[in-house]
Amino acid sequence: MEEYPNGNEGSFNSEEADGVVKECIEAVVGGDDYSANQVNKWTASIVERCLTQLVKQGKPYKYIVTCAVMQKTGAGLHTANSCYWDTAVDGSCTVRWENRTMYCVVSVFAVAIP
Amino acid sequence: MSDLLKDKSQRREKRAGKLPSEGNHGVRGKETTGKTKDSISTVSYMDELAHHDDNPRMAVTTENTYQMGPYKRIPIPAVTDILKDVLTSYLQEEEYEGEWSQKMTKTISEVIRARVKDLMIPRYKIVVLVHIGQLTGQSMQISSRCLWDAANDTFASYSFKNSSLFGVATVYAVYFE
């Protein structure tokens, strides 16, 4: 799984968002093994937590947060995104995280409010 | 001086008032903004707009367009059809393979973006997300949450599966005022 290179982030601070997202993932699924019963709950919590943390920054952005959690079975997964927006003010950030039994890919897209 | 400016703005508004009787919605929207821009160019601070490319970070003062919402919304069924069409045509008979999938995800996301742009819905920003994965009996969950204006912003998604791979495509459309 290789990361698709992100476009320029002008006013959107992608490193900061990166840190926020990693912290949210760790908090929700940090020490757990993949479980089909709980995955629904996990993805929902990761996404909501990321969204609330991003909103707390108080920046004038609309956010789209996507999370994909996949069990590790040696299967391959590729993700790509393509965006039509104003590269000066909008930006995105994608975080890949894994543990022993699962992969987690979270993407955050921030679209500026004029 | 201020009287002159007031007169100019009144004249502009009168011109805008005449427009609704002509043409159809989409064209009217474009004409309104076009006419507003043309009329604004007579005012001194529109120089900043003309040099917009040189100073992308300078605060641009823009005139009101008095447009409360989008004239034309994203047609979700049409977008879902685009997604279905693109995913099926690119992935129907294919086998999952590492390098090929990597290229395919990028290609598919660009193709979808171009086709949604061709729908010519003004003032919408588009985000396209594509996942292609191998089917080996594993379990997977993809979810997303958005903080936006629910009245104007929307999304569409479609998932495709064949014997060796699956493909999921999602399009988010965000209104830009």
What values do phi and psi take at A108, rounded to 5? -120, 125
Statement: residue B172 has pLDDT above 90: yes
User: What is the per-residue burial (b if ≥16 Cβ within 10 Å, else e) of A6-33?
Assistant: eeebeebbbeebeebbeebbeebbeeee
For every residue of A39-54, DSSP letters joined together read: HHHHHHHHHHHHHHHH
Q: Give residue-wise pLDDT tens across range A6-31.
A: 444 447 888 999 999 999 999 998 88
Both structure tokens of B106:
């990028």
Q: Nearest CB to B128: which of A47, A81, A88?
A: A81
Q: Which helix or strand (DSSP H or E) is residue A92 part of?
A: strand A91-98
More confident residue, A56 or B25: A56
Using the beta-carbon criterion (under 8 Å), do B138 and A71 form an inter-chain contact? yes
> Residue B24 has what pLDDT?
40
Q: At what angle do helices B25-40 and B2-18 cross, to 10 degrees?
A: 160
Q: Which of B105, B141, B161, B163 has the highest number of chain A CBs within 10 A, making it the mutation to test binding with A?
A: B141
Question: Within a domain: residue A21?
Answer: yes
Q: How many residues does chain B have?
A: 177
Question: Within a domain: residue A9?
Answer: no
> Residue B55 has what pLDDT?
52
In percent, the amount of chain A with pLDDT more than 70 equals: 91
Using the beta-carbon criterion (under 8 Å), do A65 and B145 form an inter-chain contact? yes
Cα A94 to Cα B37: distance, rounded to the nearest angstrom = 38
Give A66's pLDDT tier (boundaries 50, 70, 90).
Answer: very high
More confident residue, B65 or B148: B148
Q: How many domains does chain A have?
A: 1
Q: Give residue-wise pLDDT tens across range B8-56.
A: 444 444 443 343 444 344 443 334 444 444 444 444 444 444 444 555 5
> Residue A104 has what pLDDT?
92
Assess contact for B163 and B111: CB atoms under 8 A: no
Statement: residue A42 has pLDDT above 70: yes
Both structure tokens of B19:
């427009």
Cα A62 to Cα A45: distance, rounded to the nearest angstrom = 19
How far, CA to CA in Å, does B92 sit from each of A38, A107, B38, B116, B160?
32, 27, 50, 21, 9
Give B59's pLDDT tier (boundaries 50, 70, 90).
Answer: low
Q: What is the domain extent for residue A21? A: 14-112
Q: Nearest CB to A68: which of B56, B140, B174?
A: B140
Q: Give residue-wise pLDDT tens across range B82-118.
A: 999 999 999 988 888 888 889 989 999 999 999 999 9
Q: How many residues does chain A have?
A: 114
Question: Within a domain: residue A2?
Answer: no
- 3-class DSSP state for residue A70? strand
Question: Within a domain: residue A79?
Answer: yes
Question: Within a domain: residue A75?
Answer: yes
As for the ipTM of the complex, it is: 0.77
> Residue B122 has what pLDDT?
87
Q: Nearest CB to A68: which of B131, B174, B176?
A: B131
Residues of B in contact with A38 (CB under 8 A): none
Report chain B's terminal Cα–Cα distance, integer Å.
31
What residue spans of B19-97 are helical by DSSP H?
A: 25-40, 47-50, 76-91
> Residue B176 has what pLDDT?
87
- How large is the average pLDDT for residues A34-63? 90
Question: Within a domain: residue A92?
Answer: yes
Q: Which of A48, A81, A85 has the highest number of chain B CBs within 10 A, making it the mutation to test binding with B?
A: A81
Q: Nearest CB to A114: which of B117, B132, B176?
A: B176
> Residue B112 has what pLDDT?
93
- Find the CATH number of the domain harbouring A62: 3.30.1140.40
> Residue B57 has what pLDDT?
59
Q: Give residue-wise pLDDT tens across range B123-153.
A: 899 999 999 998 888 888 889 999 998 899 9
Question: Within a domain: residue A1?
Answer: no
Question: Within a domain: residue A3?
Answer: no
Using the beta-carbon criterion (under 8 Å), do A77 and B130 form an inter-chain contact? no
**Residue among B94, B110, B65, B111 at smallest CA distance from B167:** B94
Q: Give residue-wise pLDDT tens across range A78-92.
A: 999 999 998 889 999
- Which domains can be identified in chain B, with CATH numbers? 2-51 (no CATH), 76-175 (3.30.1140.40)
> Residue B26 has what pLDDT?
41
